[in-house]
Amino acid sequence: MSEVFETNEIAYRACILYEAVRRTPVKKAYKNMKEVKPNVEYWDFEYWYYRFSNGQHDLNHDRSKDPKSLGLSDMPIDVVDNIVGYLGLVDKLAARKVCRNMRAVIDDQKSKFGKVELIIDGTSCEVHFEDLGIFHYAEENETYSLETFQKTVSLKGDHSEAAVKEFATVINQPKWSFEDVTIGLFSEECYLVNERKSILYLNALLSNHKIHVDRLIIHADTMETLATILPRFETDHVVFQWGWYSDDAEKNWLEVIEMDQWKKLTKCELTNLPKGFPIEALFHVRECHFIVINLTEEHLLKIRDILFTSPDFEYFKISDEKDCDSREEFTVLIDRVMGAHAAYDPLTKVYRIENSKDYIQISVENLMFYELSIQKIRS
Amino acid sequence: MSVENAPVVDVDEAAIPVEKKMYYRFESNDKKEFRVSELAIQQSETLNRLVEAMGYTSEDVENKPAIAIENIDGKTLKLVFQWCEHHKGEAIPVDDGSVPKIVEIPEFDAKLMDIDNGLLFKLIWAADYLNIVQLLNVSCKKVANMAQGKTPAQLRRVYLLPSDEEDEAAKRAAQEAQDPRAREVEEEFEERKRQGGNSFF
């Protein structure tokens, strides 16, 4: 593009004057200017555009002699609070870095945001704050590369520690809450030590207050991760996608199901229910989906005698990953267990609730594996 | 003294001998006068209380001096009253405290606020001072929209906010202006620290 606009300030201003006099909308005028002067700064362009629009056409005006304009720092605190209230998470994070006064207003405001994620996967870590992705890649010589849509920089330190720290800074804000918090630790068996290290580091960085979140999603290879991190959150919905590698699952799930946070859950999704997990530890929730390898007669008896009497239960979906061909026909098993009570009609698969017009509808789907759905139908 | 925004009364309305509409007269700090309808004034809690307390009759409005608004200039006040007239009769929103807030900027407001940042901040200041809830909401939303996708350095320039260092320097300068020896004392203290002395005295 023409260099004249880079080197000759008057030529640049004259172009803006032309657009302002023609009443080209400011955004369109700025776009036009950017075509001939790519590095034009919007705030500078805007100043001249509005000055010329207001009939002040002096191209040689010295703006340093202007009276001081009002800025955000001149606004009353409740106004700044109002403005900050419209910012999303990503813009708030940028605005927090502007100055300590701005940071104080932002941190003092009770806010609810969408999704935040921490994904640790071998040599790369991702942190997502709503639409903003921050990527950390391990490099040689104890350095890592940090990438965002705006920049890529190489920094000293451990990539996973940096990612965990970045994530903790945001979820630690005492007055912030989130719709979804996801912590994903994806690693091979040999990386279990790394998972433990990352989760213990995150745990150490979190402050003592409870983090409020609508749904906590954890992908991990050990139950220890859930046992460590769950007490830090206040949530009624947990999704836990669990691997198979841990050899101390029993100790950790016993710890988890005794926690107040667990007892307060109303929704729960679990993959790979650990062997020996007491299924009744899920019966306090309203909605639940879990996967087992072999849903046994004992499980079904507990569902019939305990879950069906729970006042809170609404909907359970149980996926049984055992090979369909190598077991007793699933529906026969269900009919046998439920049919032991007269309340069950094997034709309609309805289980009537005593002294109530409500009933329980059971349905079974045989897809890749069996899926048992149990839903309380209210009158 | 100019009269801005003189009310336009259409013929049909003027012909009907119903209750006469009241228009109040206000004056900005640069002596611009505005006539504003009673209904439009209701958008401003501050002005509404003021006119209620004054209890003016139609004659008082004409005969007594215009109500002075001493800390808002004519350019800003014109925007304020244009907004109030356009939105007169609309319900005043109640803040439910939810964050992030959800506010839409109507086309009229967007055009009204197609102004430079300096004037926009004056408009916000006026909306806050006059307690015009929805004008404050839309103008704050407009300012918040300016932050979208900006880096901290860009935000400093858009919002004219000093960095912590600049803020500290300004505070120090203000302190020094009050006590010229402060800097001298501080430099002496720093020098002694460099020399390894533990005590200043």
User: Which of A122-126, A173-177, A348-352, B4-8 is predicted least confidently?
Assistant: B4-8
For residue B46, the model assigns a pLDDT of 95
Residue at B156 is within a domain = no
- How far apart are the CA of A76 and the nearest CA of chain B, in angstroms? 8
What pLDDT shows up at residue B13? Answer: 41
Handedness of CA A43, A44, A47, A49 (dihedral sign): negative
Domain boundary, last residue among A109, A131, A163: A109
Asked if residue A22 is part of any domain, the answer here is yes
**pLDDT-derived band at A18, boundaries 50, 70, 90:** very high
Predicted confidence at residue B42, as pLDDT, reads 95
- In a domain? residue B175: no
Asked whether the predicted pLDDT for residue B199 surpasses 50, the reply is: no
Backbone angles phi, psi at A19, to 5 degrees: -65, -40
- Find which of B79, B116, B123 to mutate to test the A interface (most A CBs within 10 Å of its CB): B116
Collapsing DSSP states into helix, strand and coil, what is residue B42?
coil
Section B66-70 average pLDDT: 92
Q: Residue A87: what are its φ and ψ, rounded to 5°?
A: -80, 140
Number of domains in chain A: 3
| pLDDT digits 0-9 by tens, A205-219 | 998 889 999 999 999
CA distances from A51 to A138, A157, B15, B30, B159 (A): 50, 49, 44, 20, 18
Most confident of A24-33, A62-71, A190-199: A24-33
Task: Tell me, yes or no, whether B188 lies in a domain.
Answer: no
Structure tokens at A299: 């499980």
Q: Is residue A54 part of a domain?
A: yes
Helices (H), A172-238: 192-205, 223-229
- Range of B19's domain? 3-146
Cα–Cα distance measured from residue A143 to residue A148, given in angstroms and rounded to the nearest whole number: 17
pLDDT at A332: 87
Set of chain B residues whose Cβ sits within 8 Å of the Cβ of A112: 98-100
Lowest mean pLDDT across A200-204, B55-59, B144-148: B55-59
Cβ atoms within 10 Å, residue A298: 10
Q: Is residue A285 part of a domain?
A: no
Q: Which tokens go with B144? A: 């918040």
A198: helix, coil or strand? helix
Contact A99 B167 (CB under 8 A): yes
Instruction: Name the one residue in this structure whose structure tokens are 């500078």.
Output: A44
- Residue A32 in tokens: 């036009």
A224 and A143, same domain (yes or no): yes
For residue B196, what pLDDT is reported? 47
Q: At what angle do helices B164-178 and B181-194 cross, to 10 degrees?
A: 120
Q: What part of B 110-149 touches A (C-beta under 8 Å)?
A: 114-119, 121-122, 124-125, 128, 136-137, 140-141, 143-145, 147-149
pLDDT of residue B195: 56
The answer to whether A179 and A202 are in contact (CB under 8 A) is no
Interval B11-28 mean pLDDT:
65
**How far off is chain A from B94, nearest CA to CA, in Å?**
13
Q: How many CA atoms lie within 13 A of B82 on its CB side?
A: 14
What number is the average pLDDT over the span A121-130?
89
CATH of the domain at B43: 3.30.710.10
* Last residue within a domain, chosen from A251, A277, A303: A277
Give residue B86's identity as a one-letter amino acid code.
Answer: H
Total structural domains within chain B: 1
> What are the angstrom distances between the C-alpha of A66 and each of A47, A69, B72?
11, 8, 19
Torsion of CA A219, A223, A227, A233, to 10 degrees: 20
Q: Which residues of B touch A78 (CB under 8 A)?
A: 128
Looking at the structure, do residues A63 and A128 belong to the same domain, yes or no? no
Residues with Cβ within 8 Å of residue B151, at least 6 apart in sequence: A94, A150
Contact B151 A84 (CB under 8 A): no
Q: How far apart, in whole angstroms, are the C-alpha atoms of residue B201 and residue B197?
A: 9
CA distance A343 to chain B (A): 47
* Structural domain contains residue B158: no
* Same-domain check for residues A120 and A105: no
Q: How confident is the model at residue A55 (pLDDT cuts 50, 70, 90)?
A: confident
Contacts of A102 (CB under 8 A, 6+ apart): A72, A80, A84, A95, A96, B161
* Confidence (pLDDT) at A324: 61
Residues A239 and A270 in one domain: yes
Domain assignment present for residue B81? The answer is yes
Q: Let me know if residue B165 belongs to a domain.
A: no
Confidence of residue B2 (pLDDT cuts 50, 70, 90): very low
What pLDDT was estimated at residue A41?
79
Q: Are residues A161 and A269 in the same domain?
A: yes
Q: CA–CA separation, A2 vs A40, rounded Å? A: 13
Task: State yes or no: pLDDT of A202 exceeds 50.
Answer: yes
The reply to whether residue B149 touches residue A43, judged by beta carbons under 8 angstroms, is no
CA–CA distances in Å: residue B138 to residues A88, A110, A279, B143: 16, 20, 53, 9
Calculate what percentage of chain B has a pLDDT beyond 70: 74
Looking at CA atoms only, how far is residue A205 from chain B in angstroms?
Answer: 25
Q: Which tokens sit at A37?
A: 């002067």
Do the Cβ atoms of B125 and A98 come within 8 Å? Answer: no
Higher pLDDT, B46 or A3: B46
Dmax (CA) for chain B in angstroms is: 91
Q: How many angstroms separate the CA atoms of B87 and A21, rounded? A: 30
Same domain, A163 and A252: yes
Q: To 5 degrees, how large is the angle CA B17–CA B22–CA B26?
A: 155
Instruction: Examine residue A186 and state whether it is found in any structural domain, yes or no.
Output: yes
Residue at which a domain ends, from A277, A301, A322? A277
Residue B52 has pLDDT above 70, yes or no: yes
Residue in B with minimal Cα distance to A47: B116
| Residue of higher predicted confidence among B181 and A232 | A232
Quick one: pLDDT at residue B131? 95
Distance to chain A for B128, nearest Cα, Å: 7
Residue A346 within a domain: no
Domain-located, residue A322:
no
pLDDT at position A277 over 90: no
Q: The whole model's pTM is what?
A: 0.76
Domain with A92, as residue range(s), is: 74-109
Whether residue A139 sits in one domain with residue A270 = yes
Question: Are A227 and A132 part of one and the same domain?
Answer: yes
Average pLDDT along chain B: 80
Q: Is residue A330 part of a domain?
A: no
Top residue of A30, A70, A96, A177 to mutate, by most chain B CBs within 10 Å, is A70
Are A97 and A175 members of one domain? no
pLDDT at A247: 57
DSSP alpha helix (H) spans, chain A? 4-7, 9-21, 26-36, 42-53, 77-84, 89-96, 100-108, 159-171, 192-205, 223-229, 249-257, 260-263, 297-305, 330-338
Name the nearest CA neighbour of A358 among A373, A346, A343, A370. A343
Report the complex ipTM: 0.75
Q: How far is CA A208 from CA A64, A234, A264, in A?
A: 49, 12, 19
Structural domain includes residue B61? yes
Residue A251's pLDDT is 79
CB A120 within 8 A of CB A184: yes
B100 touches A176 (CB < 8 A): no
Q: How distant, in Å, are the alpha carbons of A172, A225, A282, A298, A374 from that of A318? A: 35, 23, 12, 14, 8
Backbone angles phi, psi at A349, to 5 degrees: 55, 40
Band of residue A289 on the pLDDT scale cut at 50, 70, 90:
very high
Instruction: Report how far Cα A266 is from the mean position of its chain's Cα atoms.
Output: 19
In terms of domains, do A127 and A90 share one?
A: no
Q: Which amino acid is at B90?
A: E
Look at residue B193 and tell me whether its pLDDT is greater than 80. Answer: no
Q: State which residue of chain B sits closest to A75, comparing Cα positions.
A: B125
For residues A12 and A117, membership in a common domain is answered with no
Asked if A83's CB is within 8 angstroms of B140's CB, the reply is yes
Tell me which range, A241-255, B13-27, B140-154, B165-179, is most confidently predicted by mean pLDDT: B140-154
Residue A363 resides in a domain:
no
Are A94 and B143 within 8 A, CB to CB? no
Do residues A91 and A141 share a domain? no
d(CA A329, CA A322): 12
> CA A308 to CA A229: how far, in whole Å?
31
Residue B148 has pLDDT above 60, yes or no: yes
* Residue B6 pLDDT level (bands cut at 50, 70, 90): very low
Tell me the pLDDT band of B183, cut-offs 50, 70 and 90.
low
Would you call A377 helix, strand, or coil by DSSP?
A: strand
